Amino acid sequence: MKAFKRFAKEKRAARLENVKKPFPKKHEVLIQVSHCGICGSDLHAWLNHKGYESVLSKVTFGHELSGTIVEVGDEVKKWKQGQAVVMIALQTKHETEDFFCKSGLPQLSHRRRVQGLHLDGGMAEFVCIDQEFILAVPENLSMELAALTEPLSVAEHCIENRTSIKEKDRVIVSGPGIIGILCAISARARGAEVLITGTEKDEGIRLTTARKLGFQTRTVGSNLPPLSDQLNTEFSDGADALIEASGAPSALAESWRSVRPNGVVTAVALYSRNLDFNMTPFVRKQIDLRTSYASASPDYIRAFKLLSEGKVNPKDLISTYPLENAEEGFKDSENLKVMKAMLICKD
Ligand SMILES: [Zn+2]
């Protein structure tokens, strides 16, 4: 079968290979992959960036997949052939005594692994997945939209569990990448008024998409007035919450200026550079500074609900590529030409 596989711990060292079709172990299911999104973390791993040293040198990428069960292992009782499923990307084998399993945050356990970085993932025609880490796709959902469940679950975890956003709240999302846009969609679904910020390089596709989706936007950068000076009366007292999804250290450092006293700032991005910033203004405004990482199955279930309700229009966000053209999808993602590149893995 065909698979888009990394072959060395080097920059852009991945190619389409012909590999042996996997065979499910007794607790696994074999999935025929339909769609598989290219995630920011796939891109970082492909570019061999700092912070991604744990990614195997030989591995099939892909954790944002939807597909159909074609075979089940001997001990699999819960699943059967023909069911449409998505994969849970961050995988921690359930252990009743594990503190993080008990807390409903298995993604924070040191035992976690990411399928598609630490074992073969879904940028292939077939993939084997442990029965514990799949979820059934609701009937009305297309396979294309279903492949957006994982990134949307990351946004859902951030908005539902790591902010206090409620109806009529004013929310700023800093960074119009796919996670930022999905956070904005999650916040709006809760009745919040959302404004999205980006830099001039985001004007090409990302901020245009944000506006097309009905969000107000502001462009920020070193040659432009600070965001706090660009806010209209609605936001001029400061936002109730700010989601930092850009990964730019300065955006986090300056976030206190655009948030009201006793507001919340949540960082959902990863930062490739160290932050050097003054904490005092955050303390004086008593701003709650939080982080949010990945997601767990309840977040996927809420993501399914938003997708089923039509809150996400795939045409605005997804650009598809056949599996054979995976490299082009990675290049377009790197060059910010697309919001979400998605591979079609099934002929
Ligand atoms: Zn992802």
Q: Which domains are delineated in the chain?
A: 2-148+312-344 (3.90.180.10), 154-291 (3.40.50.720)
Helical axes 149-156 vs 297-308, angle rounded to 10°:
110
pTM: 0.96
C-alpha 158/C-alpha 163 separation (Å) is 7
- pLDDT tens digit sequence for 133-176: 999 999 999 999 999 999 999 999 999 999 999 999 999 999 99
Contact predicate 104/296, CB 8 Å: yes
Note the pLDDT tens digit of each residue in 92-129: 989 888 898 888 899 888 888 999 999 999 999 999 99
Give me the DSSP letters along 283-303. Answer: HHTT-EEEE-----HHHHHHH
CA of 63 to the centre of ligand 1 (A): 6
User: Which residues, by Cβ under 5 Å, contact ligand 1, an ion?
Assistant: 39, 64
Report, in angstroms and rounded to the nearest whole number, the Rg of the chain calculated over CA atoms.
Answer: 20
Residue 278 in this model has a pLDDT that exceeds 90: yes
Two tokens, residue 305: 């609900």
Give the pLDDT band (50/70/90) at residue 25. Answer: very high
From ligand 1's centre to the CA of 156, what distance in Å?
Answer: 13
- Confidence band of 233 (pLDDT split at 50, 70, 90): confident
Rounded mean pLDDT of 331-335? Answer: 96
* CA pair distance 243, 163, nearest whole angstrom: 9
CB neighbours (10 Å) of residue 144? 17
pLDDT 10s digits, 168-227: 999 999 999 999 999 999 999 999 999 999 999 999 999 999 999 999 999 999 899 999
| Bridge pairing between strands 239-244 and 259-267 | parallel
DSSP of 236-276, one letter per residue?
HT-EEEEEE-S--HHHHHTGGGGEEEEEEEEE-S--SS---
CB atoms within 10 A of CB 83: 17
Task: Write down the pLDDT at residue 273.
Answer: 86
Tell me the C-alpha distance between 129 and 89, whole Å: 10
**What is the Å distance from ligand 1's center to 296 Cα?**
12
Quote the ligand 1 centre to 51 CA distance (angstroms). Answer: 16
